Structure 1
């Protein structure tokens, strides 16, 4: 699917790739429905001190509009962001003025069955990715291990067009689809200065890459009322959004979290030096189909 925004969808997509998923039964995640990204299993405390979001359907119109408005600045494409999960981290920047973006993702660690680290760089009209594969099972996966080239791999744009894992669409810049998520809020109340809590129907946030279709299906009716907390900066811009997701099957309870910072003050991503670049082999494109 096309990358509509600079997302961490590669978390789930990578772990669900058959060659990787077979080796990711422990440490790097379970095959099956997963959030994008998965985050710690503990619920984020409600800033008001109450664990429940209040009466169903009790939408504070002013509070919801404040949340919706808080995502407007994201569309200007000049910010830094982070995402985090169980054994997973992501951080990056989008800089629309220079038509550039960068994202660094790590799934698992050296003690996991599988560790995957990606450094994706986009500077129009080119893209590069540096891949590091490790973990206990990596030596038994030569086709994947051989992608550890130690250099940035230049990507053929004709082969990544429409690929949400390796491509980037500078017309749609939200890494987590937070605008769609705030539009899907079903219950919200202000809990403090710049803080909010409530519930969100993620089944209605189809434009968001924070949740994959498999997870929404696995959640069933629960997807219609997931607790969330949000924090805005002093200028009313979204700085943190955390959605609590219950356990489904083999997937433990988790929090999906994204943060935004440095609105208007991000820096341009830099293309790798020529002596650190090689052309991406076919195996790379096959891995991220």
Structure 2
């Protein structure tokens, strides 16, 4: 899944489908250090954060994503080779069209359910008939659509490890809490900081502030990037959270009565 690209790109791309209308490094306190040491958390802040993502790669957790343009949540469950993601665009009172998307992945099968809201929703051809339905996807038609795929060899939905590798400065600010900066030019392939955002930041991209939180076992529970205003976009915090390590539930396939084969219009939306 490519989260950020969907939030800023696919909704806009949908507007161009024929027939669709346009819309408008210091040590922490002695108490924190002693507890971290007892839990086996490295004393060096950067090493602690690097180690914090190892549990993510086991692929058994739930997550949430929140930012100025999108909100999302989901589950990754490698024991059953399943995952799901729910995303919503940040609709405001002035938006004519907003979209939510629910993706389900189980081994080689995948489904997507799109819901539209806003004044123009009923005017969008084809989508009214799909309301409330999961569209079963033909994998051969979505090879280049990152928004509709999930890579079970790289299960982190937000690429937190990529951002941690791009850290330029970090200090421990309390028990399990950290703050610093990342060089976003080295993390533009993460899903929270795409190449377009990094380009718009210009010189600011080399020192983007972040905060992070670890649980008592040293596992990453939150990573937040404070993206400065740039390129006409307002400043915003983009946050990913992780929970339920080792205890996430297997994702279930949509009920057969709610499934149809994906329409040509849906594939057209995600081309390019």
**TM-score band, normalised by shorter chain:** 0.7 to 0.9
Aligned residue among 206, 213, 217 for 1:235: 217
Matching of residue 127 in structure 1 with residue 110 in structure 2: yes
Equivalent residues of 2:210, 2:225 under 8 A apart: yes
- Greater Rg over alpha carbons, structure: 2
Q: In structure 2, do the counterparts of structure 1 residues 106 and 187 end up closer, same or farther at CA, with 3 Å as the change threshold?
A: same
2:167 equivalent in structure 1: 185
Aligned residue among 233, 246, 253 for 1:264: 246
Equivalent residues of 1:10, 1:165 under 8 A apart: yes
Distance 1:108 1:147 in 2: 24
1:113 equivalent in structure 2: 96
Equivalent residues of 1:9, 1:210 under 8 A apart: no
2:9 equivalent in structure 1: 13
- Taking the TM superposition and a 5 Å limit, the aligned residue runs for 1:38-49 are none
Which consecutive unaligned segments of at least 5 residues does structure 2 have?
30-41
Distance 2:21 2:207 in 1: 32
Which consecutive unaligned segments of at least 5 residues does structure 1 have?
26-46, 49-59
Between 114-123 and 200-209, report the one with greater CA deviation.
200-209
1:210 equivalent in structure 2: 192
Distance 1:219 1:7 in 2: 19
CA deviations 1:93-147 (Å, max 9, x no partner) are 000110000111111348432220111100111000111111123234x236446
Distance 1:120 1:76 in 2: 21
Instruction: Choose between structure 1 and 2: higher helix proportion.
Output: 2
Equivalent residues of 1:8, 1:175 under 8 A apart: no
Distance 1:68 1:16 in 2: 35
Following TM superposition, the consecutive aligned residue runs of length 4 or more in structure 1 with deviations greater than 6 angstroms are none
Distance 2:164 2:129 in 1: 39
Equivalent residues of 1:88, 1:105 under 8 A apart: yes
Distance 2:22 2:150 in 1: 28
TM-score using structure 1 length = 0.81
Q: In structure 2, do the counterparts of structure 1 residues 147 and 7 end up closer, same or farther at CA, with 3 Å as the change threshold?
A: farther
Distance 2:128 2:185 in 1: 39
Aligned residue among 120, 143, 146 for 1:161: 143
Distance 1:125 1:152 in 2: 16
1:280 equivalent in structure 2: 262
Deviation at 1:270, TM superposition (A): 0.3
State the Cα RMSD in Å: 2.4
Distance 1:24 1:245 in 2: 26
Matching of residue 136 in structure 1 with residue 91 in structure 2: no
Equivalent residues of 1:110, 1:136 under 8 A apart: no
TM-score using structure 2 length = 0.86
CA deviations 1:65-91 (Å, max 9, x no partner) are 101111111111100000112363200
